[in-house]
Homo-oligomer: A and B are copies of this chain.
Amino acid sequence: MTDIAALKARRDRALGAGAALFYETPLHIVRGEGAWLFDPDGRRYVDMYNNVPCVGHGNPVVAEAMGRQQATLNVHSRYLHEGILAFAERLAALHGPQIESVVFSCSGTEANEVALRTARFATGKRGIVCTDATYHGNSELVGALTRAGAAGPADPLVRAFPFPQTYRPLVEGLSEDELCEAYLARLSASIADLEASGVGFAALIVCSIFANEGLPNIPKGFMAKAAALAHAAGGLVIADEVQAGYCRTGRWWGYEVSGFTPDIVVTGKPMGNGLPLAATAASRALIETFRARTRYFNTFASSPLQAAVGMAVLDEIEGRGLRDNAATVGAFLKTELTARAPAWDAIGDVRGEGLFLGVEMISGGAARTPDTALAGRVANRLKDKGFLTSNAGQFNNIVKIRPPLVFSRADAEAFLAAFDETVVELRG
């Protein structure tokens, strides 16, 4: 048995106290296999949280590709190497014809920096519009978008509009079309405000499925109209697919689910199954504008290692039919969870697509009061039963379910049994 308190104390010194840990009693993990994680005593946990190891923890194909390429060659990108070209071409071909060229980097933060700066260079404007409950990364530039307007002094270059949703609508009592227009009006006002302030409007950036906002159902047609509005105002549309993309929703890209065509696509987390790897993809003209203005060089990016691992991940997704698996198992899980809602009035809503689902915990019935504490209890209880989830959303009151793409129907059935137990135990 691990002495959790001793390990935690050691960690508080080595990494500094305040480095985030999951669960009331943190979990000590030593091994992974597919959708499962194991503690030092060999206890198995079904991983329903981690999207980074998309083709499975310990995936042998990826590990072999990684070790082999590292043993062969891993060097920066100022020499010619075919690997990264083939990977860039394959990645671009997964999008529509407007996406031609790629800037690789090491994290979603770095890739979003490239996207925002590209938009600024291309438009000659500086203002960015995002939602009011988003997260796109941790640098000073990208971090300024985190829950913009929610706390602290407003950044003069950023405006946040209320994220679109039908569950807690901006205005009650509207039709879906009217609600859509209400959100568009707020987006439009944000753009107008940037223009009036003199910084101008460079880009609208959204997670294509509004993951950190809580996977809302959005008014039908909203994103297509939002993109058109941004374009009409002279700005670009950036799709942050760090969480939404790579078959997470049962489709390749979240923008297919939400129905819009981005100018710039940012990808990250699952690309390397754990190797630091991210990308900013756009038209060749946009990418070349960025390169001309910055002479950007990223020591570890566009490397033979990133290429070999990135290709192995795509091979696994395609060869094992993991997009279909995400769609099928995800649909089963969503149907089953939705069917459970009537049995517990604390389940306010079940949302999401594919293997990215959220169960919204509420109290107060029709008041739909977010129950953050209860969502935390659910995640901790499920962890005790061997199922790893987390919490998310604007109020952190959502049980977040986002397993590796290899998550199976059998895993889902086992989870549902544990979820049923949890409902009985916590329903009181």
Interface residues, chain A, CB within 8 Å of chain B?
2, 4, 7-8, 10-11, 13-22, 26-32, 37, 50, 52-53, 57-60, 62-64, 66-68, 70-82, 84-85, 88-89, 92, 100-110, 113, 117, 138-141, 143, 268-269, 273-276, 284, 287-288, 290-292, 294-303, 305
Contacts and interface: CB of A to CB of B under 8 A. Distances in A.
11 contacts: A11-B85, A14-B89, A15-B77, A17-B288, A20-B295, A29-B79, A30-B72, A37-B75, A62-B70, A63-B67, A66-B70
Contacts of A29: 73, 75, 79-81
A73, A80, A268, A300 — which one has the most chain B CB atoms within 10 A of its CB?
Answer: A80
Contacts of A14: 84-85, 88-89, 92, 101-102
Contacts of A276: 106, 275-276, 300-301
Which of A14, A66, A103 has most B Cβ within 10 Å? Answer: A14
A50 B75 contact: yes
A59 to B, nearest CB: 8
Given A67-B63, A110-B107, A138-B296, A32 B72 contact: yes
Greatest chain B CB density within 10 A among A30, A74, A110, A294 is at A74
Contacts of A78: 20-22
A80 B2 contact: yes
B108 A107 contact: no
B110 A284 contact: no
A257 to B, nearest CB: 22
The 5 closest A-B pairs by CB, nearest first: A67-B67, A18-B291, A16-B287, A74-B274, A63-B71
Given A15-B101, A102-B14, A107-B300, A73 B287 contact: no
Given A16-B101, A20-B295, A113-B139, 14 more contacts: A15-B101, A15-B102, A27-B79, A32-B75, A37-B79, A53-B75, A57-B75, A58-B73, A66-B70, A75-B274, A106-B276, A107-B110, A139-B141, A276-B301
Contacts of A77: 15, 19-20
Contacts of A60: 71
B101 A13 contact: yes
Given A13-B284, A15-B302, A139 B138 contact: no
Q: Is the interface of A mostly helix, strand, loop or mixed?
A: mixed
Nearest to A22: B78
Contacts of A299: 52, 107-108, 268-269
A310 to B, nearest CB: 13
A81 B28 contact: yes
Nearest to A50: B75
Given A17-B288, A92-B14, A57 B73 contact: yes
A228 to B, nearest CB: 27
Given A37-B75, A70-B67, A102-B14, A303 B274 contact: yes
A30 B80 CA distance: 9
A9 B105 CA distance: 21
Task: Pick from A85, A104, A269 the residue with the most CB of B within 10 Å.
Answer: A85
B80 A8 contact: yes
A82 B32 contact: no
B73 A20 contact: no
B80 A27 contact: yes
A11 B288 CA distance: 12
Given A57-B73, A75-B274, A140-B117, A85 B21 contact: no
A64 B71 CA distance: 8
A390 B162 CA distance: 51
Contacts of A89: 14
Contact of A32 (B73, B117, B297, B300): B73
Given A106-B276, A110-B107, A274-B305, A141 B140 contact: yes
Contacts of A62: 70
